[in-house]
Amino acid sequence: MKEKNVKNIFIDGSIPAQKIADDLQKHATRTEIGAHSIFLGQVRADEKAEGKVIAIDYTAYEEMALTKMQEIRETIFSRYPLTCMHVYHSLGRVLTGEICLFVFVSSRHRKAAMEACEELVEAIKNQLPIWGKEILDTAGTIWKENT
User: Cα-atom radius of gyration of the chain, to the nearest Å?
Assistant: 16
Asked whether residue 1 carries a pLDDT value surpassing 60, the answer given is no
Strands 10-12 and 82-95: parallel
How far apart, in whole angstroms, are the C-alpha atoms of residue 41 and residue 118? 12
**Looking at the predicted structure, is the pLDDT value of residue 70 above 90?**
yes
Residues 2-32 pLDDT 10s? 446 788 999 999 999 999 999 999 998 888 9
The verdict on residue 132 lying in a domain is yes
Q: Is residue 26 in a domain? A: no
**CATH number of the domain where residue 87 is located:** 3.90.1170.40
Q: Is the pLDDT of residue 48 over 60?
A: yes
Whether pTM exceeds 0.85: yes
CA pair distance 54, 43, nearest whole angstrom:
9
For the chain, the domain total comes to 1
Instruction: Return the pLDDT at 82.
Output: 97
Which domain range does residue 132 map to? 10-15+32-143
Give the per-residue pLDDT at 145: 78
Cβ-contact 105, 113 below 8 angstroms? yes
